[in-house]
């Protein structure tokens, strides 16, 4: 099940849309910002009731 979420890129501060695959459950992964191409860490938490929360932060490294 795909859900779209609006987040703010931690590098360029632009609002971007992420497509999240809730069927894969909670996960942490890296994704590049489609605006500035900087990597960010995406943390997705999927709840038992189908709700979800997403956080993004600058990729450390």
Q: Tens-digit pLDDT profile for the chain (61 aa)? A: 899 999 999 999 999 999 999 998 999 999 999 999 999 999 999 999 989 999 999 987 6
Domain boundaries, the chain: 2-58
pLDDT of residue 50: 84
Which residues are registered as beta bridge partners of 20?
3
The alpha carbon of residue 47 and the mean position of all alpha carbons in its chain are separated, in whole angstroms, by: 16
Q: What is the pLDDT of residue 55?
A: 97
pLDDT value of residue 61: 63
pTM for the model: 0.88
Q: Are residues 33 and 14 in contact, defined by beta-carbon separation less than 8 angstroms?
A: yes
Q: Give ∠ CA 25-28-33 in degrees, rounded to 5.
A: 120
């Amino acid at each position: 099940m795909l859900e779209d979420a609006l987040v703010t890129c931690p590098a360029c501060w632009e609002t971007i849309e992420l497509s999240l695959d809730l069927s894969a459950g909670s996960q942490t992964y890296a994704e590049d910002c489609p605006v500035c191409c900087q990597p960010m860490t995406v943390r997705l938490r999927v709840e038992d009731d189908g709700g979800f929360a997403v956080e993004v932060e600058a990729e450390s490294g």
